[in-house]
Every structure is written in C-alpha cells, then in structure tokens.
Amino acid sequence: MSKFVQRWPLGGRSMLVAATATLLLVAAAISCRLPTLPMERSAPPSRHGGTLELTIAGNTAKTLLPGIDMNIASYQIQGTGPNGATFSLSTTQTSNEVTGLVEGTWNVAVGALNAAGQNIGIGSSSITLTSTDTVSLSITVTPIQGNGTLSLTTTWPASQVAAASLTASLLPPAGSAIPLNYTVGSGTASVADSSIPSGYYTLSQTLFNSGVVVMGAVEVVRIVAGQTTSGTFDFSNANAVDPTISVNITPAMNEPLPITLSGATASLTFGTNMTVTPTVAGYSGNATYVYYLNGQAKASTTSASPSWTFGSDLAPGSYRLDVTVFSADGLQAGSATADFTVVAPPGAVVLAWNPDTDTTVTGYKVDYGETSGVYNAVVDAGARTMVEITGLLPGHTYYFAATAYTATGLQSNYSDEISYTVPAS
C-alpha cells in the first residue's frame, strides 16, 4: 500500500506512530460524529519531536445496501497526551505523521467520513512514549455499531396466488435467525423493522399459496445503524398451484445397530487388564455404550472415546461381558457379548474373603503352609480383600488362614482354614 507522509513540527520527544485503520465488511454504523478540529498543540515547541504516522485503508460495500455512502473520503484524527497536550488533523491520506510529541501516554482516535461528511467509522488506541525513538501505533477503524431499519416490499400476481402467505427471516453469520413479520395483502406484502442490529445478514423469503411453496428468494442484506436498507422483490413468475398431492416416503425403521467388540480375549491372567473397543458398522452418529460384567453395570462411554480398560481387580472365575449401544436420539440400539475367564498363573492361587465389619480394621494378612494349622509363610494384602500367592509347588497341598489387623498393631484370630492342591505340571 502506497503511503503519503505529512509532517508537523511539535514540541516534545521523538516518536513515530503508525496507525493503520481498516473498515471491516462485517458492520457499518453512524451513531456519532467526531468534530472537525484545526491543528493545535499545547506542548511547547522543541527542536526534537516525536512522530505519529497513521495508515488508513478503505472498505467495500455490496449487495442490498442502505442509502448512505460507506466509502471513506476523509479522516479526522485526534490525539490527547500528558499534561493536556493535544493534536488534531483532517486528512484524506491513509498514512500520516505527527512529530514533536511529548513523552508520556497518548490516546489517539480516528474517525472515518464519507464524501457527505457523515461519520461512517471510528477507532482508537493508545501508546506510551518513553524515549526519542520512533515507535508505531496501529489503529483499526470499524463501522459504528447500532440498530438500523430494514424496509421490504414483495409483490406477486394476486389472481395466480389467491391464498398467499409469506415467511421471511434474517440469518446473521452467528446466532439465531431474526423473523420478519410481513403485512400481507392482495398481491403484496411489506415489512419495516427498525430494531435490526447493524451487520450483514442472509435474507430468506418464501411465498406460499395454500401452504404450497410457489416462489422464494435469498439475498445478502447490510444493515447500518441509523439508516434504512430498502428492497423490492417481484414474484410475478410465481408458480401456479395445481390440485395435486405429493407423497414423499422416508423409510426410518430404526434397524438395530450392529455392534462388534475388538480386544476381548477368552482368557485373562489374574492381575492384568484387557481393553475392549466397540464399533458400529454403517453408523456415524453419536452413541452411548454401557459395559456390564455378569449383569452388573460397570462403565459408560461415548463415541468420542468408546473403549474400556478393565480386569486387574477381577478374581479368578468365569465372566460374561455385555456391551449395549444406543443412538443419541434413542431410536436405535444394539448389544454384543464376550465370555472370558480370569485364571491364576501356574504355581499360584488367588484367595478372597469378606471384609471385617470392625471399622478399626485397616488390613489383612494370609498365613499359609503345607501342614494344617502350621503356617510358615505370610502375605500382607493391605486393605484389599483378595490376594494372589505365587511360588507354590505343583502337586503340593497348602493350607491358608487369614487375620485382620488395626493401625495400632492389634491382630484378630485366624479365620477358618482352607486348603488348595496345586495341579501337577
């Protein structure tokens, strides 16, 4: 972008401030005007001064627009500095410099005006000068925000559209659509709404005859604060409505969801985990998965992370894993099953017991040996009510008894004794 540079000698430290103001194509408003001020300064002249450079770019308007000219013809710039120091200037250039600014904080405001002198944009920023170095300040000028008016008229052949109704709305780039309430007459409809926030919208209109769509239009509309955007739509080519019935059939039989489980194994070594991942073929929507072990619900996941890892806390034995899946709307569902067995490794046995009802109990120990009532080994299970004992000899019989203990060192009597014969290898 080419720059035209103007310089004014003002008293103070040296500063270069580059202010770039750009009119955005998202909103335009005219709710205030910056006054036209002559060049002035309240700081005393100096042989050394700062520099303020302002670079300003124009905007482009299009589509269904208000009557105001949104093209920038000139700019009014005001600066306020320390101790009441000020400057102001009017310019048509997009790059300007102000020199001789005193050291301290400067607040700069830029107003954009069209050829008729109407304020169509504004921006401001500030900067602190601490030395004679040249510094840059960027300012973005945007349209002023506020409400504008949308005035529309739509016409059609009254003889061809005898039972007319019209729906219309404004859809912003983000957020909910704004309905437009037309006053419908014979062959014409009109609306004027002065509460539309400034910005760009998608205007949608649909003309019905006895509830059947006969014509419609979509166009982008720009609303400017304090201004009226007008438009006329001619639906003279509206379609005639014949006495017909249109039957559209959409099959929605809510077929079951075919679920497949991966990662499930038939055998799981005690103390280890398996990770099961469900998939549903031909279904891409959100879904909820629920995992059950022997009929008891254990976990719930979603399509974002459907897998479940489990198993390390399971006692040896047989288990049935069931997984159900439901679509987000609850209209489709399915399930899958996997059977597996938790087994102790060779030369090992897993013992489990019911917890002690005494609330002072903090842990358990299991004593064992190869002679009934004679225990020459012990395993501390901690607070768990299950423990794996390894290193047992194949073909040997072992006898086990458990005790509970408290944090103060008290220990209970032995539980009933059980025995286990390790299978021969």
Read off the pLDDT of residues 143-197 as tens digits, 9 standing for 90 and up: 988 999 999 999 999 888 888 999 999 999 999 999 999 999 998 999 999 999 9
CB 171 within 8 A of CB 52: no
User: What is the per-residue pLDDT for 21?
Assistant: 31
Parallel, antiparallel or unpaired: strands 199-209 and 104-113? unpaired
Cβ neighbours of 81 (radius 10 Å): 24
Look-up of token digits 């300003």: 56
CATH of domain 349-421: 2.60.40.10
Q: Assess if CATH 3.90.660.10 describes domain 16-129.
A: no
Instruction: Give pLDDT, residue 66.
Output: 86
Structure tokens at 162: 């005898």
How many whole angstroms separate alpha carbon 294 and alpha carbon 288?
20
CA 30 to chain CA centroid, Å, is: 33
**Rounded CA Rg of the chain:** 41
pLDDT the model gives residue 60:
41
CATH 3.30.420.40, applies to 259-343: no
Looking at residue 347, its pLDDT comes to: 87
Low-confidence ranges of the chain (pLDDT < 50): 1-48, 57-62
CB 10 within 8 Å of CB 87: yes
- Given the structure tokens 């760009």, which residue do they identify? 200
- The domain spans of the chain are 16-129, 147-234, 259-343, 349-421
Tell me whether the CATH fold assigned to 147-234 matches the one assigned to 349-421.
Answer: yes
Residues with Cβ within 8 Å of 243's Cβ and at least 6 positions away in sequence, in order, are none
- Closest CA relative to residue 416, chosen from 402, 397, 404, 405: 402
CATH class of 147-234: mainly beta
